[in-house]
Chain A
Amino acid sequence: MRDSLTVNSSAVPPPVARRGRISWSAYLYLLPSLVFMVAFSLWPALEAAYQSLFRLNLLNPDHSFIGLGNYIALASQPLFWQVLRNTFVFSLGTMPISVALALVFALLLNRRLPLIGLYRTAIFYPAVLPMISAAAIWSFLYVPSYGLIDRFLTSFGGAQINWLGDASTALLAVIVTTIWKQAGYYMIFFLAGLQGISAEVLEAAELDGANLFESLRSITLPLLMPTTVFVTTVSLIASVQAVDQVYLMTQGGPDNSTNTFLYFLFQTAFTNWDTGQAAALTVILLLALFLMSWLNYRSLDRFTHYE
């Protein structure tokens, strides 16, 4: 019987290009994806960077070159900084909690119990809903006085709270909706990651006398790190992309307390019709995301155990 921890040495290695010879087939295989990436990711990004250097308000025929004028105009707008603050708080609120919850759910549901499929479906189900539907459902829950949450609170003698109408609770309300929607989605990745961890390793740890927390800390989490790195990056990006729920639930209000980056970008582009500033915002977003992804991979990399 094969010792499953040794490598299967009879596997055929893939063809490797000989030194000095270009592997045309490799590039041909990559070409379709490259075409799409250039057409739909790279070129629009460059186009946006180019447009951000012009005054491009669709209600004003003057489309002259103004260099960094759009960026300066943005930086001098207090609303821009408020939007950054809101987005930062929103990311801080959704990302760690969604990922942590997803991990907890995955750990709890990574076993073969009779109804485990039902639990997994129930937790994953919100991920299948379009965000607009989730936002509509939660809008109803948040209705003051007779919405389900307020009813629940008042039945215990609590206060009726105008969740979406109060500047101090609106962002929190949107954060909760987002966490509810996303946790199940990330749970799937963690479940997959957990199932890739060999049971022998955990058994060995148990034999050595490690308790649950020790094996979790020393074995499961490090082996799960590639997944964690991916999930945190994706959730970070998703938190910056939050716009559907803001659009439906609060329209950025009350008084811009839930105005997140992408919603502000939408307003700039399609309410104010300032395409130049919107392009500038796009470039800022791109750079920020690159930076965040890079930092994320770098910082978590030291904890990652690659096979």
Chain B
Amino acid sequence: MLDSLTPRGVASFSRRRMLALGVLGAASAALAACSSAPAASPTAASANAPAAPSATAAPASAAPTTAAAPTSAPSAAPTVAPAATTVPASGTTAQLTFFYPVGVAGPLSKLIDGMAAKFNQTQNGAIKVTPVYSGDYIQTLSKAQTALQGGKPPDVAVINAAAIYTLQDMNAVIPLDDLIKSSNANVADDFFPAFLANSKLGSSIYGIPFQRSTLVLYYNPDLQNKLGLGTKAPQTWDEVVSFGTKLTDRQGSTVNRWGVGFPSSGSSYWEFQALAIEAGQNVMGDVGNKAYFNTDASITALQWLIDLSQKNKIMNSGTIDWGNLPTDFAGEKTALIYHSTGSLSFIAKQAKFTVGVAFNPKQKQFGSPTGGGNLYIFKGIPAANQEPAWKFTQFMSTPETLAQWSIDTGYVAPRKSCYDVASYKDYTTKFPQALVARDQLQYAQNELGTHQMAQVQTILSNAIQAALTMKQSPKDALTAAQTQTDQLLANFKD
């Protein structure tokens, strides 16, 4: 039995050779397969080991697949070719790639595919846009920058508005002023100033606001009414605590419903900005080389957040997952949540109650960061693609398109003229919650978007988490973050 598996000629495999082959095999396996499954099939090392049946090696090597995108969003399907049978006049089709992120709940990928398909149809084959779902904002930025490094940047991409300094440092995007002037697009007057503020560098516009958001408070009027709290949302930080205390449903040591849910997982810097602004000062100013982390406002805000779980016991301890909160709220597991307006449509569809939307409760003032993505046109794309790219950008940012996008997702319609579009007027009459974010815009301030944007954002997010998990006091955490950021931004002139 044994002899048929180990023919004599191979049996003289020495120990040393086994060692050498094993180390080489293991090391090359480590290098070659940076994939989700353990290293590739054991052909090298098991040459003399008890024979591995080939059947088991096959499924093992077939199993490792490249890491897929987060499961919540469907993968982008290539757009369908235009149905028109007319031949494009020029004879060649401009092929555009369009990278876009999905950072909020909902089937946004399908909607984008539909919009791109519609655009392709109107172009009669002259332009073909292929939308590419690229993960969340950070992943999309990574993907676009990686493509840029590889010499094949996307033609158009939706990237965080806050990445504007970073994109300029990478020499990645083109200013849009000439294109805007030549097509008489009404940008400066029609888009809300709060959104244009970080779409500009100096006086040049680099991005067109597309899916912009603010942080809002979602509340449950019926539940509040039942508990004698009225049907209006809490307006101040103190009311959040008093409402939250009544709304928390505790049975022994089990909590059936938390009063408040404030997201703090992953990129927690964004929602924290709302609290800092409400306490008196934003973490971001008007320049790209300074951030304001260890201000009194930030320390007060962070302490209040910690107290919600530690002192007031109306919020779960530890970090709270951004992705879970809409479902928590819709399922009545959390009564008050802070979340992006972009989740509004998803929440409204899921909830079996009427969803209330309100300004973030104020302390010294109302406040919210702006968020979301702008449409950018990249440098380094073929010259022939630039006009088509601008055409596509314009299509995606007409008042009608933006109004429909807002209806489908809950993002704030970033143009004043959107609110006059007939379908949007109907929508806001039936669904006045959608207007809250726009009304809050007067209190909205810039998202944290300095140079080295992602790294600085991570520094603040880590500090917030360190304080929330009680590893450091708010003051220590924020001061350490400030020092680190100052060092990082020291080399940048503006």
**Given contacts A154-B254, A227-B46, A271 and B318 within 8 Å (CB-CB):** no
**A255 in contact with B465 (CB, 8 Å):** yes
From A13, A128, A198, B59 is in contact (CB under 8 Å) with A128
Task: Report if A297-B36 is in contact (Cβ < 8 Å); known contacts: A13-B8, A188-B56.
Answer: no
Q: Do residues B8 and A227 form an inter-chain contact, with CB atoms below 8 A?
A: no
Q: Which residues of A contact B (CB under 8 A)?
A: 4-9, 11-14, 37, 40-41, 44-45, 58-60, 127-128, 130-133, 136, 143-146, 154, 157, 159-160, 162, 164-167, 182, 185-186, 188-189, 191-198, 200, 223-224, 226-227, 229-230, 233-235, 237-238, 240-241, 244, 247-248, 250-251, 253-257, 262, 267, 270-273, 286, 289-290, 293-294, 297-298, 301, 306-307
Chain A neighbourhood of B264, CB < 8 A = 165, 254
Interface status of B316 (Cβ within 8 A of chain A): yes
Residue contact A241 to B30, C-beta cutoff 8 Å: yes
Q: Are A307 and B11 in contact (CB under 8 A)?
A: yes
B38 at the A interface (CB under 8 A): yes
B326-348 near A? 1/0 per residue, CB < 8 Å: 00100101000000000000000
Q: Is B22 an interface residue (CB 8 A)?
A: yes
Known contacts A230-B49, A267-B458, A289-B30, A7 near B8 by CB under 8 Å: yes
A37 contacts which chain B residues (CB < 8 A)?
28
Given contacts A167-B469, A289-B27, contact A255 B462 (CB under 8 A): yes
* Complex CA distance for A133 and B64, rounded to whole angstroms: 12
Which residue of B59, B60, B266 is within 8 Å of A253 (Cβ)? B266
Q: A162-B317, A237-B26, A271-B458 are in contact. List 11 more A-B contacts (CB 8 A).
A: A59-B451, A160-B254, A164-B319, A166-B469, A185-B63, A192-B50, A234-B39, A253-B266, A290-B23, A301-B19, A307-B11
Q: Report how far A146 CA is from B461 CA in the complex, Å.
A: 26
CB atoms of A182 and B38 under 8 A apart: yes
Which one of B71, B318, B466 contacts A136 once the chains associate, using CB atoms below 8 Å?
A: B71
List the B side residues contacting A200 at CB < 8 Å.
1
Task: Collect the chain B residues with CB atoms within 8 Å of residue A247's CB.
Answer: 67
A132-B68, A226-B49, A255-B466 given as contacts; is B39 within 8 A of A237 (CB)? yes
A166–B465 Cα distance when bound, in Å, is 10
Chain B minimum-CB-distance residue to A196: B50
Q: Are A127 and B138 in contact (CB under 8 A)?
A: no
Instruction: Enumerate chain A residues within 8 angstroms of B67, measured Cβ to Cβ.
Output: 130-132, 244, 247
Cross-chain contact of B319 among A189, A237, A253 (Cβ < 8 A): A253
Contact in complex: A165, B48 (CB < 8 Å): no
Kindly state whether residue B150 has any CB partner on chain A within 8 Å.
no
Contact A146 B331, beta carbon cutoff 8 Å: yes
CA distance A41 to B471 in the complex (A): 41
Per DSSP, chain A at the interface is helix
> Contact size class for B?
35 or more
Answer whether A230 and B42 are a contact pair too, CB < 8 Å, given A8-B8, A196-B5, A290-B23: yes
Q: How far is the CB of A6 from chain B (nearest CB, A)?
A: 8
CB pair B49–A234 under 8 Å, yes or no, is: no
The answer to whether the Cβ of B52 comes within 8 Å of any Cβ in the partner chain is yes
Min distance, Cβ B2 to any Cβ of chain A, angstroms: 5
Nearest B-chain residue to A77, judged by Cβ: B484
Asked whether, in the complex, the Cβ of A188 is within 8 Å of the Cβ of B60, the reply is yes
B residues in contact with A272, CB < 8 Å: 452, 454-455, 458
Of B141-149, B295-303, B389-397, which stretch is located at the interface? Answer: B141-149
A230 and B45 contact, CB distance less than 8 A? yes
* Chain B residue nearest to A225 in the complex (CB): B49
Contact B30 A185 (CB under 8 A): no
- On chain B, the residues within 8 Å of A226 by CB distance are 18, 46, 48-50
Are B34 and A241 neighbours in the complex by a CB distance under 8 Å?
yes
Tell me how far the C-beta of A281 lies from the nearest C-beta in chain B, rounded to whole angstroms: 13
Q: Does B174 contact A (CB under 8 A)?
A: no
- CB of A182, distance to nearest CB on chain B (Å): 6
Contact B36 A244 (CB under 8 A): yes
B422 within 8 A of A: no
Among B3, B11, B170, the most chain A Cβ lie within 10 Å of the Cβ of B3
- Which of B18, B32, B145, B451 is the one whose CB lies under 8 Å from A40? B32
Min C-beta distance of B59 to chain A, whole Å: 7
The distance in angstroms between the C-alpha atoms of A267 and B457, with both chains bound, is: 12
Contacts of A230 in B (CB 8 A): 22, 42, 45-46, 49
With contacts A132-B67, A256-B462 known, is A307 near B15, CB below 8 A? Answer: no
Q: How far is the CA of A60 from the CA of B52 in the complex (A)?
A: 51
Residue of A nearest to B258 (CB): A145
Q: Is B83 interfacial (CB-CB < 8 Å)?
A: no
Q: Which residues of B contact A127 (CB under 8 A)?
A: 37, 60, 63
The residue on A at minimum CB distance from B49 is A226
Let me know if B253 is at the binding interface, CB within 8 A.
yes
Are the C-beta atoms of A165 and B51 separated by less than 8 Å?
Answer: no
Q: State A19–B178 Cα separation when bound (angstroms).
A: 77
| Residue contact B23 to A133, C-beta cutoff 8 Å | no
Residues on the B chain within 8 Å of A244, using CB: 36, 67
State which of A4, A145, A262, A307 has its C-beta within 8 Å of the C-beta of B1: A4
**B169 beta carbon closer than 8 Å to chain A:** yes
23 contacts between A and B (CB under 8 A): A5-B2, A6-B3, A8-B3, A11-B9, A13-B8, A13-B9, A41-B28, A44-B31, A59-B452, A131-B36, A145-B255, A186-B38, A189-B52, A192-B51, A196-B5, A237-B26, A237-B29, A251-B266, A253-B465, A255-B468, A255-B471, A286-B31, A301-B19
Chain B residues with CB under 8 A of A59: 166, 169-170, 451-452
CA distance A166 to B471 in the complex (A): 11
**Residues 428-484 of B contacting A (Cβ, < 8 Å):** 451-452, 454-455, 458, 461-462, 465-466, 468-469, 471
Chain A positions within 8 Å of B316 at CB level: 144-145, 162, 165
User: How far is A289 from B333 in the complex, measured between Cα atoms in Å?
Assistant: 46
Please give, as numbers and ranges, the residues of chain A lying within 8 Å of B458 by CB-CB distance. Answer: 267, 271-272
Q: Does B92 contact A (CB under 8 A)?
A: no
Q: Which residues of B contact A186 (CB under 8 A)?
A: 38
Asked whether, in the complex, the Cβ of B38 is within 8 Å of the Cβ of A298, the reply is: no
Bound-state CA distance A251–B137 (Å) is 14
Q: Closest Cβ of chain B: how far from A157's Cβ, in Å?
A: 8
Q: Is the CB of B265 within 8 A of A233?
A: no
Kindly state the separation between the CA atoms of A165 and B5 in the bound complex, as whole angstroms.
51
Contact among A4, A195, A306 for B3, CB-based, below 8 A: A4
Task: Verify B254–A253 contact, CB threshold 8 A.
Answer: no
